[in-house]
Structure 1
C-alpha cells in the first residue's frame, strides 16, 4: 500500500492480504514537535517522498523541504541533513535506542495488497476468479478444522464453543451416547478452545490445517 500511494501510479487497491504490516510515523528528537502541524518549515528526511508530501498537504503543512533518502533515514538527523524523519515504525524500540520519539498520529498503516489499474480491463472475469481464490487462501489461514467426540449431554455446551462459520457438522458415533463434531474455529483461539472443550468433557480433539476455503 505504501509503495502504491508513494508512486502516484494510476492503480487501485482491491484486496488487503493481511501480512507485511507496517506503520509510518514522523519522528525526531524529544521536544522537536508534538504533531504534524508543528512541522511547518522543517526539513523532513524519508524514503517515501510522495507519501509524505501528500500527507503534509492534506494537513495544510508546508515543510522547509523533503529530503529523499534510501536506507537508514535516521542518520540524517545526526548529520544535520534534516530535523525530522518519516519512516516505518513498529514497536518504537529502535527509535528509543537512538534517542528519538514518535511525533503525532500515524501517517498511514500499510500491508501487502493486491492492486489493479484504475481502469479495469477486459479480463474482469479472470480478475474476480483470481480474487475469489486469494480470499479462499486468506480465510483458510485464519481458521483450522477442529474435530472432537463429546457425550450427548454435553453437546450443547461444546457447540457453543465451536459454532463454526455456518454450523458445525454433528454425527452420532457407534458408541451409544456419544457424538462426533467437526467445526471451523479461529486459528489464534484454537488452543484456548481445546482447553475449554476438554473441560467440557470432549475427547479425541484434533486440529487440521485448512489449505483453502470458499464461503
Structure 2
C-alpha cells in the first residue's frame, strides 16, 4: 500500500483532505483518527503535524506527503523532494526590521534574526554567505525586536499590516514563495504516479469549467477564437442545420467575460458547468 502523510491540523489540513476526497480517496471521518486505511485504492493515510511530514517522508518511513514548501525547506531533509505544487496555502517569506535600519541583505551580517523557520532562513542566508545568529521562536515573531531579543525577523508576510503595527518594514528580496506541495521520498514507490495523476485532475477541475452554447454555424471560427479549449471544441449538429451546439473546456477565471463575448457574436443558450475531476 502507498503510505501517504496528511496534515492533521492547521491551514493545510482541510484543503488537503478535501483534495484527496475529490481525487477519489476515502480519508478519516473522525478528526481524532491518526491512521486510516483505504483498501479500495490501496493507500494508507497517516495524519501528522505538518512540520513533521517532510521528516517522515524524507527518511523513507512514509512514501509521499502533503505539506508546505516552507516546511519542506525548513526540515532540510535530503531525501524529501517536491514533485507537484498544489495551488493552495500560498504565502511569502520576507525579512523585516525597524524602519530605516537595514537596506539590503548584506546589512544582516552578524545580527540576530528571530524566526519560526530557522532551517529555511539559515539555508537562504548561507547560500549568500551571510552569517547571523538565529533566534528560533514558536509562533508570532513580530514582538522579538521590540522586546530586544532580535535585530530583525524573518516571517510570513501577507498584507504587511501586522508588521507596520509593530513598527517594522520589509526589506531585501523574498526568502521563499510557498504553497502546499506534494512531496516524495528517496525511492520511487508504486502508486505515486496514480496519486499524482489524480491530484492533477483535481487541480485541472478547479481551474476549468465546461461552456455549452448554441451558435449559427457560420460563426464557429469566430467563436473558437474566443474560447479555443484545451485542444479544440466539440461541435455537434442541431435539428436546424443553420445552427450547431458547441462544448468547450475553458479557464474558470474570466469565464463571464468569455460568455459576454460569445453572446455578443450571436451565441445563445450559454451554460457553464463546473468540472468535478479531469484527466488531460
| Same fold (TM > 0.5) | yes
| Structure 2 residue matching 1:71: 3-state secondary structure | coil
- In the other structure, the counterpart of 2:160 is 92
- In the other structure, the counterpart of 1:61 is 130
- In the other structure, the counterpart of 1:204 is 269
- Asked which structure has the greater RCO (Cα within 8 Å, sep 6+), the reply is 1
Size of the alignment, in residue pairs?
211
- In the other structure, the counterpart of 2:140 is 72
- In the other structure, the counterpart of 2:75 is 7
- In the other structure, the counterpart of 1:137 is 202
Shift of 1:41: 1.2
CA distance in 2 between counterparts of 1:130 and 1:71 reads 33
CA distance in 1 between counterparts of 2:138 and 2:86 reads 26
Structure 1 alignment gaps of length 5 or more: none
- In the other structure, the counterpart of 1:37 is 106
Whether the 8 Å contact between 2:143 and 2:166 is mirrored in structure 1 is no
CA distance in 1 between counterparts of 2:244 and 2:224 reads 11
Q: Note if 1:28 corresponds to 2:97.
A: yes
TM-score (structure 2 length as normaliser): 0.73
Q: Note if 1:158 corresponds to 2:226.
A: no
Q: For residues 48-89 of structure 1, what are the alpha-carbon distances to aligned partners after superposition, in whole Å with 9 as ceiling and x for unaligned?
A: 0111111111111011x1101111100111101111000001
- In the other structure, the counterpart of 1:46 is 115
Shift of 1:27: 0.4
Whether the 8 Å contact between 2:213 and 2:245 is mirrored in structure 1 is yes
CA distance in 2 between counterparts of 1:146 and 1:102 reads 44
CA distance in 1 between counterparts of 2:176 and 2:215 reads 47
Structure 2 alignment gaps of length 5 or more: 1-68
Question: Displaced runs of 4+ in structure 1, greater than 3 A?
Answer: none
Shift of 1:133: 0.8
CA distance in 2 between counterparts of 1:36 and 1:206 reads 53
